[in-house]
A and B are shown apart, each in its own frame.
Chain A
Amino acid sequence: MNFDDTPQEAAFRAEAKSWIAANAPKALEPELKTSGFGGLYLGSVDPMQAAKAWQKKKAAAGWACLHWPKDYGGRGASPIERVIWGQEEGLYAKLSAPFTIGHGMCGPTVMAFASEDQKRERLPPLASGEEIWCQLFSEPAAGSDLAGLRTRAEKDGDDWVVNGQKIWTSGAQHSDWGLLLTRTDPSVAKHKGLTMFFLNMRSPGVEVRPIRQMNDQRTFNEVFFENVRIPDAQRLGAVGQGWQVSLTTLMNERLSIGSGMPTGFPDLFELACQLETPDGPAVDDPAVRAKLADWAVKASGLRFTAFRALSALSKGETPGPENSIGKLVAGSMMQDIAKFALDLEGHAGLLTDPDDAPALAKFQTMLLRSPATRIEGGSDEILRNIIAERVLGLPPDIRVDKDVAFNAIPTGGR
């Protein structure tokens, strides 16, 4: 057991390192360092422009989506090489945020279900960041219960006509393309009447409305569809097979190794070392230490759980189910850490202006962002169900809606 690269891995790492040293946008380094929880904040430049520029540069040199095949804009790298790249890219990986959903979820789905022509046409500009994708799954009445979605797609000649509403769509306001899950048959059981498409977000009848969040950001959107036409050629998978197709998308999300799920621990540790209490630095206070130690072992547990998965990848194996604990642990931990940091800061903890608050108000930002982390992409409760059912093999909850025609399921009047 060791943490060492194999010779091939070491050679790859050296190549990546030297390319990054020569090409990365070093001017952004200080801002990238303080930017973190709750999105990318770059005071000096437009974050989207900076992100696209870095992605383009990577693509030109063959470092974009490097685990994708070369024909689709990647480099044909192995899973472990992808991870090594992620480690080396470090801080600059924060610039990939606008592409995460496209690269992590939409791309793999297109790769699995689209025609060869479509793949060659759509994937390279996605890899290079020239086109941005979003994922249109959740709806007001279909969050944790995704298969409860109601957006209708009806066949009309060679097209499908879409009407309905999506919600919580990250990045829809910047997106060129979207992956869209619809209901094509409401008269069969809920999981059986779904169909997946991809569509141009500039199509007539698509309207994006940003949602104002409790932290006053607007990163999520509602997306409305009014008689939006999608050619049948842009269907992914068979009609009625949308649920299976969506599982590919979601599985890809969960397979991406959480080597970087932030927990807030390093930040809190730094604060505790620097913050002076009447009796010396906070880290000297046994009560603070007790808390820090609890969080330290969680952060470390997540880190080494990720390393175990990396080792599996390095051996060419599929990582085990351990990674499913990442977001569950990190989400509430971040919230607790934010609260405790404010507690340490005392009265100054309620200040939110970076000029007034300690640590550039990062913990205040974290406090107001963390509730979403515990909900988005699977709430804590859903994640516990997934661990209990898929990892531990417990039976699922009793389902009253499984064998019932979708249009016969109770909706609470809405």
Chain B
Amino acid sequence: MNFDFSDEQKQLRDSARRFLEKQSPVAVVRRVLEGDEGYDKELWKGLAEMGFTGAAIPEEFGGAGLGHLELCVIAEELGRSLAPTPFSSSIYLAAEFLMAAGSEEQKAKYLPKLASGEWIGTFAFAEGVGEVTPDRIASGASQGKLSGTKVPVPDGEIADFAVVAANTGGSGVRSVSLFLVDLSGAGVTRTPVKTIDPSRKHARIAFDGAAAEPLGAAGEGWSILTNVLDRAAVLTAFEQVGGSDRALEMARDYALERIAFGRQIGSFQAIKHILADMYVSATLARSNCYWGAYALSTGSAELPEAAATARVSATQAFQHCSTNNIQVHGGMGFTWQFDCHLYYKRSNLLALNLGSLSQWENKLIERMRAGNSAKDAA
């Protein structure tokens, strides 16, 4: 059994960590958090130069042609460092959509630019409050024109293009199709929206007869996006695990450093047990993420179940660790000056941005049951 990353992949993780510690220290995160810039351009350029953006994009389309295990270890480091870039929108989503459903021409047009970081892509999906279902996609497209409003769209203001889910007639899963829309074109209005984590910017995008090019077959949109969201869920789960580990380290370090009642607060069981529980949830999540990575990288039929497992577990872990990191820090943890809140905010953002925890919990059990029925039938 070799249920682990290879030595080369671990080296890649180390080099990503070194790079991000240098290029994405907290000061950079805070600059984006406090400013109006949509992302840190220097950092983004550096990530592309290091070959991270193109890690899983095939060489024929300008990528490094490594694979998704490599992308997973990079994702973990992005999560750990809170890197304020459009990496998730552009790579986990836009590039994955193109690789999953793009024509050869579309791949040739978009993937090299995504790999080089020259273009930023995103996915415009949600429109209102609550779970997104096929029938809740009101944006419509016909004859190459797309209209409707999407909010919140991650990196919506800075993206060059978006994959947009739109209704192309009828109802149910066959009513949804995907389109590529140039966001600098006519009929596109973008306005920034405020979110719980200002270090990752989001926008409202209003489409009014914007030029839209089909991505994948008509009526296949829901099935494609379900698959791509699973893939993105595994990668995001690695970000969440990276964030969980960092939050746990911060809490551990503070528990060792802070003195109260004449002793390190980490010597009190009330604090110790909080930290032990954080370790437990982070460890469970990491192990589940490895399963997700295995399924993602091998194209296994287990992906839907593995992705939902990684997603639920990592969401729980990051929320748990980031919340308790503040608790262990006491009042200082609630200040703007300490970094705890950056992780708290990111954990709550990541908990929602691919669909909420309870939606993924529901999907997980649905999929486990489907898997069991399939096994029973076989």
Instruction: Assess A211 versus B259: contact at CB under 8 Å? Given A346-B126, A346-B130.
Output: no
**Is A213 in contact with B334, judged by CB distance below 8 angstroms?**
yes
- A212 lies within 8 A of chain B by Cβ: yes
**Tally of B interface residues using CB under 8 Å:** 56
Interface residues of A in 260-291 (CB under 8 A from B): 275-278, 282, 287
Q: Which one, B331, B341, B349, contacts A143 given CB within 8 A?
A: B331
- Interface size band for A: 35 or more
Query: Which residues of chain B come closer than 8 Å to A156, judged between CB atoms?
Result: none
Interface residues of A in 342-356 (CB under 8 A from B): 342-353, 356
Docked pose: A368 CA to B196 CA in angstroms: 8
Docked pose: A275 CA to B202 CA in angstroms: 23
Docked pose: A339 CA to B318 CA in angstroms: 13
- B11 lies within 8 A of chain A by Cβ: no
Tell me the minimal C-beta distance from B211 to chain A in angstroms: 25
Q: Which one, A213, A220, A346, A364, contacts B196 given CB within 8 A?
A: A364
Tell me the minimal C-beta distance from B77 to chain A in angstroms: 23
**Is B129 in contact with A345, judged by CB distance below 8 angstroms?**
yes
Interface of B (DSSP majority class):
mixed
Instruction: Assess A144 versus B262: contact at CB under 8 Å? Given A138-B331, A375-B330.
Output: no
**Is A351 in contact with B135, judged by CB distance below 8 angstroms?**
no
Instruction: Assess A350 versus B337: contact at CB under 8 Å? Given A148-B260, A148-B261, A379-B330.
Output: no
- A258 lies within 8 A of chain B by Cβ: no
**Is A213 in contact with B335, judged by CB distance below 8 angstroms?**
yes
Q: Which one, B202, B323, B351, B353, contacts A343 given CB within 8 A?
A: B351
Question: Which of B131, B136, B353 has the most A CB atoms < 10 Å from its CB?
Answer: B131
Query: Which residues of chain A come closer than 8 Å to B125, judged between CB atoms?
Result: 347
Tell me the minimal C-beta distance from A37 to chain B in angstroms: 14
Docked pose: A231 CA to B87 CA in angstroms: 62
Docked pose: A344 CA to B359 CA in angstroms: 9
Q: Fill in one digit per residue for B121-154: 1 if any A CB lies within 8 Å of its CB, else 0.
A: 0000110111111011000000000000001100
List the A residue with the shortest CB-CB distance to B356: A343
Query: Can you identify 13 A-B contacts, CB atoms within 8 angstroms?
Result: A148-B260, A167-B331, A214-B326, A276-B129, A339-B319, A343-B352, A344-B356, A347-B352, A350-B197, A371-B341, A384-B270, A410-B263, A412-B258
Mark A residues whose CB is within 8 Å of B.
138, 141, 143-145, 148, 167-168, 211-214, 216, 220, 275-278, 282, 287, 335, 339, 342-353, 356, 358, 364, 367-368, 371-372, 374-376, 379-381, 384-385, 397, 399-401, 404, 409-412, 414
